[in-house]
Amino acid sequence: MFDVLLLLTAVSLFAYAFYKWVTKNYNYFKDRNLAFITPKFLVGNFGAFLTKQLTAQEFSDYLYNAHPTKKLYGIFSFRQPALVVRDPEVLKQITIKDFEYFEDKRLIGNDSDKLIGKSLIMMKGTKWHDMRSTLSPAFTGSKMRLMFDLIMENSINMSTQLRKKNTSLELDMKELFNKLTIDMTANTAFGIKINSFEDENNEFYLMAKNLLNFNRPKILIKMVFLNVMPKLAAFFDVQMFEPQVAEFFRGMVWSNMETRQREGIFRPDLINLLMQIRKGEEVQSAADENKTPDGFATVEEFSVGKKSSTRRWSDEEIIAQCFLFFFAGFDPISNHLGFTTYELAVNPDVQQKLFEEILDVESRLNGKNITYDQLQKMKYLDMVITESLRKWPPIALTDRMCVKDYTYEEDGVKFVIRKGMMVAVPSMSFHYDEKYFPNSKVFDPERFNDENRRNIVPGTYLPFGIGPRNCIGSRYALMQAKVTIYYLLLNFKLVPYDKTQIPLKLAKTPMGMFTDKGIHLKFETRP
């Protein structure tokens, strides 16, 4: 009896201590007189998101609409106090003007993770500055011009493969564009030519399919562990992805580099850049190039300190950048192309107007292929792509991490944002705020015509982020999207059919912008 009582006492004390540890910070904002969203035990304000009760957009709206009259307010990332910013002026203040206070990000995993943790998006401080400066030259307008023919080659190949099959095709957009974008990524980044439309068993495509299964319970458990107990996760060497993923990239990158060095091969791609930085060579800074905008959605390249870096990077860090480019180069762009073709199919007037612009360009090419510069001059194509990114951005939520104490004041209340505190940015909800984008649920490319785009409130259109930590690959993504849509509409009319979900609904998943029932469209071959 005494032993049982002792055991119950020990269990009770442990449970009480665990409860106090979890809830230690739950009065943080109340004590400081700042509005906040009431947390739930252990998961804070992220429970419904992680347990798949909300779509990515619904979770963004949950954060964004909690305190409509406030510009900044509190939430809890599991047990840690965090903040939500829902005012564009405050957002610009944090992400641009006072960037030095909020230069880091906190996404999934931590820096002990060999792939996500050591990639550019997870790097912090000086290391991030140096890697951003190192990689930026790979994404300038001049580099896009060099890659353009490779991207165009893949787009034409897809259209050619589809035209061979039938005059009317019923297709799954996710499957279609996964094949296309993985071929593009292999070709432009790694110098490896594959054709996933003819060979679905190539190692690039198989690896891509494996990575797409990102919502497995095992992955979600790891993500929670890495965020709730990062030090313990690092101690046990918890990795987001299986060891064979890292081995795939390591083997592919090193063999590619060795072949090029041995045979004197040069290609203007990511592998060539990584070969330079592996040797500690200085690369030309993106800031040295006089760039022209490649469309409204192209992000501005901010100065991030030194114009170039000769830091020697470890093999793990080089592999991590390859993984990031591989993943970011196919999945988000594949999703975007799916959403764009859906909107064109259910808005036939938009599709027809874009098709007429494409025909006009074709008539002036005299049988030649379109060039990168000619593509950038297509105003309506840019409007369509830009509106698609507004309605269906690559991610619904981003963040910044405070790196040194920062004093914020609102309505006479001063609040110190402490070092290490995350600031969440529900970017998708800005895109659907009627104050900034009237009739926001309507797909309307005219929002971004020459006259109307001047009225877009800065800090409310965020498909590629904002400030110096915006998406480094926006030019590349826009080039892929534009050339793909160009050749698709040139060859096919896109129409919905009985399997097409209208209106389109997002799946309740914590990772990425995935649809509930896929995107299924009919392709009718043009004469």
Give the CB-side neighbour count of residue 408, counting CA atoms within 13 A. Answer: 28
507 within 8 A of 327, measured Cβ to Cβ: no
CB of 460 closer than 8 Å to CB of 447: no
Does 322 count as an annotated binding residue? no
Residues 20 and 276: their CA atoms lie apart, in Å, by 52
Residue 242, phi then psi, degrees to nearest 5: -65, 155
User: In this structure, what token pair is assigned to residue 120?
Assistant: 């550019």
Helix or strand or coil: residue 138?
helix
What are the tokens at 327? 């993943």
Rounded CA gap, 486 and 478, in Å? 12
CB contact set of 368 (below 8 Å; sequence gap of 6+): none
Nearest CA among 445, 485, 437 for reference residue 462 = 437
| CB-CB contact of 107 with 68 (8 Å) | no
Sign (positive/negative) of CA torsion 379, 484, 272, 108?
Answer: positive
8 A C-beta contact, residue 347 and residue 446: no
Residue 520 pairs in a beta bridge with 172
d(CA 480, CA 325): 14
Strands 492-495 and 520-525 turn out to be antiparallel
Q: Which two tokens stand for residue 74?
A: 């509190």
Listing from the earlier edge strand, what are the strands of the sheet with 520-525? Answer: 168-172, 520-525, 492-495
Q: Estimate to the nearest angstrom the gap between the alpha carbon of 10 and the chain centroid.
A: 47
Burial of 64 (0-12, 13-18, 19+ CB in 10 A): buried
Binding-site annotation, residues for heme: 471
Binding-site annotation, residues: 471
